[in-house]
Amino acid sequence: MGFSRRTRAGERESAEDTGVNPSANATIGDVIAARFARRDLLKGALGVTAIAATAGTMAWLRADPAVAQAASRFAFSELAAGADPDHHVAQGYAADVLIRWGDPVLADAPAFDPRRQSAAAQKMQFGYNNDFLGYFPMPGAANPSRHGLLVVNHEYTNEELMFPGLGRQDLKEVGFAGMTEQLVGVEMAAHGGSVIEVRRGEDRWSVVVDSRYARRIDLDTPMQIDGPAAGHARMRTAADPSGRRVRGMINNCAGGVTPWGTWLTCEENINYYFSGTMAQTAAEFRNHQRLRIPANGYAWGRYHDRFDIGKVPNEANRFGWVVEIDPFDPAAMPRKRTALGRFKHEGAAGIINSDGRYVIFSGDDERFEYVYRFVTRARVDLTNPRANRDILDDGTLAVARYNTDGTLDWLALVHGEGPLTPANGFASQADVVIEARRAADLLGATKMDRPEDIEASTATRKVYVVLTNNNRRTAQQVDAANPRADNNFGHIIEMIPPDGDNAAARYTWNILVRCGDPAVAAVGATFNPQTSRDGWFGMPDNLAFDHQGRLWIATDGNSAGRTGRTDGLWAMETEGAARATSKHFYRVPVGAEMCGPVFTPDDETLFVAVQHPGEAGAAGPDAGAATYENPATRWPDFHPDMPPRPSVVAITRRGGGRIAS
Ligand code: FEO
Ligand code: CA
Ligand code: CA
């Protein structure tokens, strides 16, 4: 979710930024400080040869882009970092808009008219704020990298940019005064997901009209609840006495693509959608408080009782899950896989373990929340995709504890083990998964700096965890030995399984890079000195590996005011002498965040999602008070009557060939 949306209404700002984790567990800042004494940091104990604090400003200013070019396996001329109303890609590449908010997904969708938008139209059109992208080659296609399905998450809505004459509604003094039932209906229809069939022609990619696979998923789509929480009393409502059927999914951020051909889409900041009040003595009060429900970010509860926790206290338990969808069957009911736990799931990328079991990693994206892992009980059957249909219902959920000796323990969230007993309010595994955060508190998991995407390299089996930032440590959480007590720009942790066993109970860990401007010594960034002035970034968010095993990093939160650059995509070396060398490849228009990077199997196309272009920046200078009438950019149409539109972009190399090769 966009940085600025997180910090909208003043009353919500402090709670969101400090987090709600009440446990006394160690923070990753404490652990890093204890593991790496400052002296060792300066000697390069983090796996890089030098850091900015020793290199100094002048060394960085002298950094020669030609040197980075020579060291990098990524063959492209680096893009200049900057901030302006358009998007930009490295020289020699084309970046074509594939589909925009409001474009048809279903064949009978009406033409997009932002001044007369309706829920009925939006239900057939491409939704708002595209985030995760997954590519599925079309079975039997002549070239599987030129014909496939693209699945897209629609994470959230910006009413101030979507609706004429409305302005920001979530500010305390506004209180959603302008949000009619009709506008709320459009918002609910603009959430969820899209499945589109895409094809690469002579010239460029296009969406196949009248595709039999085309699908829009929104807040009315019936979904099945599976796994340990299915049917439990805490999952039942008056509208669903079975506790097994829920309408829709919300705030779907990142996700994953399974080896058996399904789309995993992750419910993240669900707390924003709930409002109302609940007695402190109510059964779900403690549970909801641990997820900061309600956070009153939308007016949905005014028109739909299920989003009012005072009226339907259990509805919130039916969100916050990983949802599995078969993209090739538009009639297939999406499944909420409760075995993977309930929290603010950023993503659900996975890897087939050396023994054949599937291992999924998922960050809980809030300050001081945790990193989780799920290992299936069954082995993946690649010869028969249907055999894997329900393997995500049975397995072991675990949470990470990073130790100061460089090891990392995966602590299992299993009912009856350790503190997860009736005495602590866990009567069954259903209670454990519904209250995964509280269970993880009791196990002693390490509190992280907003875990975003986590991706495993199939080449090395190392796992990379993005911690986007944490600028709200309190004085008690600052340690004099920790040069980055105030982690404003984020960092990336590398987790190393023993002998390639991603299901092992104990890993080791290291830091790949601390982000931010290496020219400012106080920032303490640790990019490889061969990184150019365009090559560094702050606030990493999404990760992608190409099919050559190389890491690409998308960001959320850079701006002219904060880092002198918009968000975008950077190519990052992870091994050898060039480790932590980063190169800038693509950047988004002002106000936007970079999401969803995914490569076709031949690495000739890179799809990216440009989310919330024109949104007001966190620090303001990019956009000021961005509205429908006065957005920071009108990308991609640049038409005076058209607002900015979140869009998917297809990046290809001019003249053909693999990207960055
Ligand atoms: Fe939706 Fe964690 O970003
Ligand atoms: Ca984000
Ligand atoms: Ca994200």
- Predicted local distance difference test score (pLDDT) of residue 487: 78
CA of 253, nearest ligand number: 1
pTM beyond cutoff 0.85:
yes
Mean of pLDDT over the chain:
90
Q: For residues 529 and 581, give the distance between their C-alpha atoms in angstroms, rounded to a whole number.
A: 7
pLDDT at residue 212 greater than cutoff 60:
yes
The per-residue pLDDT for range 477-530, each reduced to its tens digit, is 543 333 355 678 999 999 999 999 999 999 999 999 999 999 998 889 999 999
CA of 451, nearest ligand number: 1
pLDDT at residue 43 greater than cutoff 60:
no
- Predicted local distance difference test score (pLDDT) of residue 474: 54
State the closest ligand 1 atom to the C-alpha of 363, by its place in the atom list counted from 1: 2
pLDDT at residue 243 greater than cutoff 50:
yes
Q: For residues 244 and 142, give the distance between their C-alpha atoms in angstroms, rounded to a whole number.
A: 41
State the closest ligand 1 atom to the C-alpha of 131, by its place in the atom list counted from 1: 1
What pLDDT band is residue 135 in, cutting at 50, 70 and 90?
A: very high
- Predicted local distance difference test score (pLDDT) of residue 210: 93
Query: In angstroms, what is the span from residue 56 Cα to ligand 3's centroid?
Result: 32
Q: For residues 79 and 226, give the distance between their C-alpha atoms in angstroms, rounded to a whole number.
A: 46
State the closest ligand 1 atom to the C-alpha of 269, by its place in the atom list counted from 1: 1
Cis status, amide bond into 294, omega within 30 of 0: yes
Lowest mean pLDDT among 51-65, 212-226, 249-263, 495-509: 51-65
Report angle CA 41, 47, 48 to the nearest 5 degrees: 80
Lowest mean pLDDT among 394-398, 487-491, 593-597: 487-491
Q: Do residues 459 and 549 lie in contact, with contact meaning Cβ atoms separated by under 8 Å?
A: yes
Q: Hey, what are 462's tokens?
A: 């190392």
- Predicted local distance difference test score (pLDDT) of residue 647: 98
State the closest ligand 1 atom to the C-alpha of 556, by its place in the atom list counted from 1: 3
Q: SS3 for 59?
A: helix
Q: Are strands 451-456 and 407-412 parallel, antiparallel or unpaired?
A: unpaired
State the closest ligand 1 atom to the C-alpha of 452, by its place in the atom list counted from 1: 2
State the closest ligand 1 atom to the C-alpha of 254, by its place in the atom list counted from 1: 1
State the closest ligand 1 atom to the C-alpha of 1, by its place in the atom list counted from 1: 1
- Predicted local distance difference test score (pLDDT) of residue 478: 45
CA of 615, nearest ligand number: 2
Q: For residues 42 and 45, give the distance between their C-alpha atoms in angstroms, rounded to a whole number.
A: 7
**Residue closest to 83 by CA, chosen among 515, 568, 589:** 589
Query: In angstroms, what is the span from residue 542 Cα to ligand 2's centroid?
Result: 8
Query: In angstroms, what is the span from residue 536 Cα to ligand 1's centroid?
Result: 21
State the closest ligand 1 atom to the C-alpha of 344, by its place in the atom list counted from 1: 2
Query: In angstroms, what is the span from residue 640 Cα to ligand 3's centroid?
Result: 30
CA of 345, nearest ligand number: 1
CA 336, 339, 343, 346 dihedral sign is negative
Query: In angstroms, what is the span from residue 154 Cα to ligand 3's centroid?
Result: 12
Q: Whose CA is nearest to atom 1 of ligand 1?
A: 1
pLDDT at residue 568 greater than cutoff 50:
yes
Q: For residues 278 and 482, give the distance between their C-alpha atoms in angstroms, rounded to a whole number.
A: 40
Q: SS3 for 338?
A: helix
Query: In angstroms, what is the span from residue 366 Cα to ligand 3's centroid?
Result: 11
Query: In angstroms, what is the span from residue 240 Cα to ligand 3's centroid?
Result: 31
Q: Whose CA is nearest to atom 3 of ligand 1?
A: 1
Q: For residues 32 and 406, give the distance between their C-alpha atoms in angstroms, rounded to a whole number.
A: 9
- Predicted local distance difference test score (pLDDT) of residue 52: 33
pLDDT at residue 53 greater than cutoff 50:
no
CA of 363, nearest ligand number: 1
What pLDDT band is residue 18 in, cutting at 50, 70 and 90?
A: low
Q: For residues 565 and 349, give the distance between their C-alpha atoms in angstroms, rounded to a whole number.
A: 28
Average pLDDT over residues 107-132: 98
Query: In angstroms, what is the span from residue 482 Cα to ligand 2's centroid?
Result: 26
Query: In angstroms, what is the span from residue 408 Cα to ligand 3's centroid?
Result: 24
Q: For residues 280 and 275, give the distance between their C-alpha atoms in angstroms, rounded to a whole number.
A: 15
Name the more confident of 415 and 524.
415
Average pLDDT over residues 168-182: 94
- Predicted local distance difference test score (pLDDT) of residue 468: 87
State the closest ligand 1 atom to the C-alpha of 268, by its place in the atom list counted from 1: 1
Average pLDDT over residues 334-346: 98
Measure CA 93 to chain center: 26
What pLDDT band is residue 469 in, cutting at 50, 70 and 90?
A: confident
The per-residue pLDDT for range 601-617, each reduced to its tens digit, is 999 999 999 999 999 76
Distant-in-sequence, close-in-space partners of 95: CB < 8 Å, separation ≥ 6: 87, 88, 89, 586, 649, 650, 651
Which residues does residue 191 pair with via DSSP β-bridges, in sequence order?
A: none
Q: For residues 271 and 297, give the distance between their C-alpha atoms in angstroms, rounded to a whole number.
A: 8
What pLDDT band is residue 645 in, cutting at 50, 70 and 90?
A: very high
Lowest mean pLDDT among 42-46, 73-77, 357-361, 513-517: 42-46
Average pLDDT over residues 169-195: 96
Name the more confident of 403 and 59.
403
CA of 592, nearest ligand number: 2
Report angle CA 405, 544, 633 to the nearest 5 degrees: 120
Query: In angstroms, what is the span from residue 470 Cα to ligand 3's centroid?
Result: 15
The secondary structure of 434-456 as a DSSP string is HTHHHHHHHHTPPB-B-EEEEEE
Which residues does residue 450 pair with via DSSP β-bridges, in sequence order?
A: none
Percent of the chain exceeding pLDDT 70 equals 88
pLDDT at residue 631 greater than cutoff 80:
yes
- The domains of the chain are located at 22-75+101-513
Distant-in-sequence, close-in-space partners of 196: CB < 8 Å, separation ≥ 6: 99, 105, 126, 149, 150, 152, 207, 208, 211, 213, 214
Which residues does residue 312 pair with via DSSP β-bridges, in sequence order?
A: none
Name the more confident of 432 and 48.
432
Q: SS3 for 246?
A: strand
Query: In angstroms, what is the span from residue 650 Cα to ligand 2's centroid?
Result: 20
Name the more confident of 171 and 155.
155
Most confident of 1-5, 67-71, 652-656: 652-656
- Counting every residue written for the chain, the total comes to 661
Q: Hey, what are 570's tokens?
A: 């950077």
- Predicted local distance difference test score (pLDDT) of residue 453: 96
Name the more confident of 47 and 589.
589
Count the neighbouring beta carbons within 10 Å of the beta carbon of residue 641. Answer: 10
Query: Looking at residue 334, what DSSP letter applies?
Result: P
- Ligand 1 pocket, CB under 6 A: 1, 155, 253, 268, 346, 365, 452
CA of 593, nearest ligand number: 2
Query: In angstroms, what is the span from residue 58 Cα to ligand 1's centroid?
Result: 35
